Amino acid sequence: MATDLHAPDVLHGLAGLRFGHPVYIYQQIGSTNTEAKRLAEAGAPEGLLVMAETQTAGRGRAGRHWLTPPGGALAFSLVLRPALPPAQAARLTMLAGLAVCEGIELASPLRVELKWPNDILVNGKKAGGILVESGLQGDRLDYAVVGIGLNVSQAPGADQVEFPATALADGAGQPIDRLRLLRACLNRLQAQYARLADGEALRADWTARLAWLGEKVVVTTADGALSGQAEGVDADGALLIRGETGEALRLVAGDVRLRQG
């Protein structure tokens, strides 16, 4: 049975970290990312954390609804103020993906992969997602909000999702301590943060986590579905596909699946 995360326990569990302070904890909120963005625009410091037991309007990529069952998930958003030009903002998605994979592996026996560009995979099923949103001030990033949602002990049913989902506890075959998981993810985000300056090394490590590179895939985009071989990603995080007739394709958004047959 999952137990609620209460402020005194969270504060104690995150002691010593730079990220995760101050922390705002809600039993129910529309979206942690929306609240974190509001606080960031009001001048919130880097490291501020917003977390919730339940989201009524949680958001995934492309405006999709993100389900957050009470006590069964981990949903949090972190305010960052990186010294990055807007053209390099994709590095934040890479950073978050790497850090969350490492955090899960520190807090559980799982081996985790990434589904381009921002989904967490366990045994080929989606166990979480990352949504990075940013605000500009002139020609620079004013802030970035890194939103992370993880299915810890419960996963949405097949009728609620477009891609098969799983929970971390199901993949691990044992309960996952949500507070330990939260600390591990924030710890790795904090440790990896300095690597934003080294985009090529960050991209190489992120690429090594991506599932299905070298495989035949189908990518659903706003303009339709494309098939081909996933060859890699470029410095901006775009997916590079070799199309069925040999053409080179560069995709900046879309949903990837292994091609069947």
User: pLDDT at position 60, please?
Assistant: 55
Q: What pLDDT, on the 0 to 100 scale, is given for residue 177?
A: 96
As a whole number of angstroms, the distance between CA 58 and CA 50 comes to 13
All CATH 3.30.930.10 domain ranges of the chain, comma separated, are: 7-209
pLDDT at 6: 85
In this predicted structure, what is the pLDDT of residue 260? 81
pLDDT tens track of the chain, all 261 residues? 446 788 899 999 999 999 999 999 999 999 999 999 999 999 999 999 999 999 887 665 545 555 666 778 999 999 999 999 998 999 999 999 999 999 999 999 999 999 999 999 999 999 999 999 999 988 889 999 999 999 999 998 888 888 899 999 999 999 999 999 999 999 999 999 999 999 899 999 999 999 999 999 999 998 899 999 999 999 889 999 999 999 999 999 999 999 886
Cα–Cα distance measured from residue 32 to residue 75, given in angstroms and rounded to the nearest whole number: 7
Class of domain 7-209: alpha beta
Cα 65 to Cα 89: distance, rounded to the nearest angstrom: 23
Positive/negative CA dihedral, 197, 201, 207, 208: negative
Q: What is the pLDDT of residue 1?
A: 40
Q: Where are the alpha helices (DSSP H) in 133-177?
A: 168-172
Rounded Cα distance, 162 and 191, in Å: 33
pLDDT of residue 58: 65
Which value, to the nearest 10 degrees, does the dihedral of the CA atoms of residues 256, 198, 111, 46 take? -90
Assigned CATH for 216-258: 2.30.30.100
Per-residue pLDDT at 212? 95
What pLDDT is stored for residue 7 in this prediction?
A: 87
pLDDT given at position 71: 76
Domain with CATH 2.30.30.100 in the chain: 216-258
For residue 130, how many C-alpha atoms fall within 13 Å in the half-sphere facing its CB? 27
Task: Tell how far CA 89 is from the center of its chain.
Answer: 14
